[in-house]
């Protein structure tokens, strides 16, 4: 166990933002947290990162090392008038590390940034800022990374690349990662565990396999003139042009694929949709 947050409560005046929230994370785990806007995700992450004090509950990091966790809260917050190297040096200096030039280069390369750019960070794209923010979060080798909406503002390629990077950090470097996002397919691809936060309470928390099994019933089928497929319509798919949406149990899949094969319908991709309604109706934990 690297990180444990137990029975976290937080109120702002009469508004209860978090009620009895508990999340644990092991080394190599990517624990996803999803919830509607205002559910309390950011507040929870701020509590984990020590920025906000909970009314009650405990937050424990079980690793040794000066820096227990690194993080990004919402958008990356950097000194726009400084270069990437200077930002790294400043944030390293704040925690008492005097970064040498070689270490700066290594830190930038780790997140896929070039050492050659000397211009202020305000000129960087969102993706590059995100990478730099990660590099800063990784300074001083934390064992845990807490990322609040890390994909926001990134284009699809950027999202994919960032996702790969997070996977690498977890699988190859053994970091425990907590992340929140609204991008369900990335979450279902990356995460080992999934928790759902609704109105300050955790209403679902399980491994990704069990979560998707219970919640994943909708798929989107893409292909040229796929809307003309009689098989899909027979199974209850709805849609038009190149996309059809179908609610189907996993057990019915083989039958569907056989029928599509006989019909010779071309399917270019099939993307799962986590049933958000199901998620928020589900009370399982």
Binding site for other proteins (CB under 8 A): 46, 49-53, 66-71, 73-82, 86, 89-91, 93-96, 98, 133, 136-137, 139-140
CB 138 within 8 A of CB 70: yes
Q: Token pair for residue 44?
A: 């929870």
Residue positions counted in the chain: 285
Q: Shortest Cβ distance from residue 51 to other proteins (Å)?
A: 4
Nearer to other proteins by C-beta: 11 or 268? 11
Nearer to other proteins by C-beta: 132 or 256? 132
Q: Shortest Cβ distance from residue 28 to other proteins (Å)?
A: 22
CB 17 within 8 A of CB 55: no
Tell me 228's DSSP state: G
Using DSSP, state whether 20 is helix, strand or coil. Answer: strand
**Max CA distance (Å), the chain:** 67
Question: Which residues, in sequence order, are CB contacts of 179 under 8 Å at separation 6+?
Answer: 30, 31, 32, 33, 145, 146, 147, 148, 150, 166, 187, 190, 191
Strands laid side by side in the 193-198 sheet: 69-72, 144-148, 176-180, 30-34, 193-198, 201-207
Q: Shortest Cβ distance from residue 66 to other proteins (Å)?
A: 5
Q: Shortest Cβ distance from residue 27 to other proteins (Å)?
A: 19
Nearer to other proteins by C-beta: 83 or 282? 83
Nearer to other proteins by C-beta: 47 or 216? 47
Q: Shortest Cβ distance from residue 226 to other proteins (Å)?
A: 45
Q: Shortest Cβ distance from residue 97 to other proteins (Å)?
A: 8
Nearer to other proteins by C-beta: 42 or 229? 42
Alpha-carbon distance 218 to 252, whole Å? Answer: 12
Nearer to other proteins by C-beta: 52 or 161? 52
Nearer to other proteins by C-beta: 90 or 259? 90
Q: Shortest Cβ distance from residue 270 to other proteins (Å)?
A: 40
Give Rg (Cα) of the chain. 22
Nearer to other proteins by C-beta: 166 or 203? 166
Handedness of CA 243, 246, 36, 169 (dihedral sign): negative
Q: Shortest Cβ distance from residue 79 to other proteins (Å)?
A: 6
CB 174 within 8 A of CB 28: yes
Burial of 25 (0-12, 13-18, 19+ CB in 10 A): buried
Alpha-carbon distance 127 to 254, whole Å? Answer: 40
């Amino acid at each position: 166990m690297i990180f444990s947050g137990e029975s976290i409560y937080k109120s702002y005046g009469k508004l209860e933002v978090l009620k009895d929230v508990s999340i644990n994370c092991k080394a190599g785990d990517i624990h996803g947290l999803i919830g509607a806007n205002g559910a309390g995700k950011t507040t929870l992450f701020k509590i984990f990162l020590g920025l906000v004090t909970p009314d009650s509950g405990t937050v424990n990091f079980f690793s040794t090392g000066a820096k227990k966790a690194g993080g990004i809260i919402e958008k990356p917050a950097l000194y726009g008038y400084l270069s990437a190297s200077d930002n790294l040096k400043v944030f390293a200096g704040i925690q008492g590390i005097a970064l040498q030039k070689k270490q700066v280069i290594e830190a930038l390369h780790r997140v896929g940034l070039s050492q050659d750019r000397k211009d202020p960070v305000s000129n960087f794209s969102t993706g590059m800022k995100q990478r730099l923010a990660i590099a800063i979060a990784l300074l001083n080798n934390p064992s845990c990374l807490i990322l609040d909406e890390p994909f926001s503002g990134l284009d699809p390629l950027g999202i994919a690349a960032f996702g790969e990077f997070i996977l690498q950090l977890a699988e190859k470097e053994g970091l425990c990662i907590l992340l929140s996002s609204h991008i369900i397919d990335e979450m279902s691809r990356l995460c080992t565990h999934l928790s759902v936060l609704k109105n300050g309470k955790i209403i679902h928390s399980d491994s990704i396999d069990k979560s998707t099994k219970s919640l994943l019933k909708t798929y989107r089928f893409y292909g040229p003139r796929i809307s003309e497929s009689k098989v899909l319509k027979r199974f209850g798919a709805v849609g038009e042009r190149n996309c059809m949406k179908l609610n189907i149990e996993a057990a019915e899949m083989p039958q569907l694929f056989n029928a599509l094969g006989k019909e010779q319908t071309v399917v270019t991709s099939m993307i799962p949709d986590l049933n958000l309604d199901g998620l928020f109706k589900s009370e399982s934990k």
